[in-house]
């Protein structure tokens, strides 16, 4: 069974204990790897946080993250929409909190609702740059 199965079906309340919306999914997944990510509570509150995300979206390293060209498991996928949406790469798909039913889903990408043109950046945590956890 793939590691992502442990998260599929979690609801927004469970995710919300780890951070705001889609970011909470990333926080849960990375906690399972022993990597603590900031919760950001109700969003990117500080100017520093916004600058870091902007740098990643521009393909530049930022904090504990580097931008990469090809996604592998545990990479973050940053999507453009009304707000920035975050998903975690898992088995060639994206693990994210779906707006439709507030459940964590594993969905293909690109897809009609997630076309390549909306993908802003693929980001890898520096602790995972050399290896992919099992």
Q: Which residue has the tokens 């931008």?
A: 67
Q: Which residues of the chain have pLDDT under 70?
A: 12, 15-20, 39-45, 50, 82, 100, 132-134
| Average confidence score pLDDT of the chain | 82
Residue range 51-90, pLDDT digits in tens? 777 777 777 777 888 889 999 999 999 888 767 788 999 9
pTM: 0.84
Paired with 77 in beta bridges are 87, 122
**Other beta carbons within 10 Å of 111:** 11
3-128 in CATH: which number? Answer: 3.90.1720
CA separation, residue 117 to residues 58, 65, 102 (Å): 14, 22, 24
Residue 20 to residue 36: CA distance in whole angstroms:
15
């Amino acid at each position: 069974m793939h590691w992502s199965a442990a998260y599929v079906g979690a609801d927004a309340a469970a995710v919300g204990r780890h951070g705001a919306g889609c970011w909470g999914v990333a926080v849960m997944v990375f906690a399972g790897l022993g990597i603590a990510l900031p919760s950001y509570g109700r969003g990117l509150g500080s100017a520093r946080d916004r600058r870091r995300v902007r740098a990643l979206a521009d393909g530049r390293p930022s904090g504990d993250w580097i931008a990469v060209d090809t996604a592998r498991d545990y990479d973050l996928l940053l999507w453009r929409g009304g707000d920035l949406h975050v998903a975690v790469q898992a088995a060639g798909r994206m693990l994210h909190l779906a707006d439709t039913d507030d459940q964590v889903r594993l969905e293909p990408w690109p897809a009609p609702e997630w076309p390549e043109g909306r993908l802003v950046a693929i980001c890898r945590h520096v602790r995972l740059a050399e290896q992919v956890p099992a």
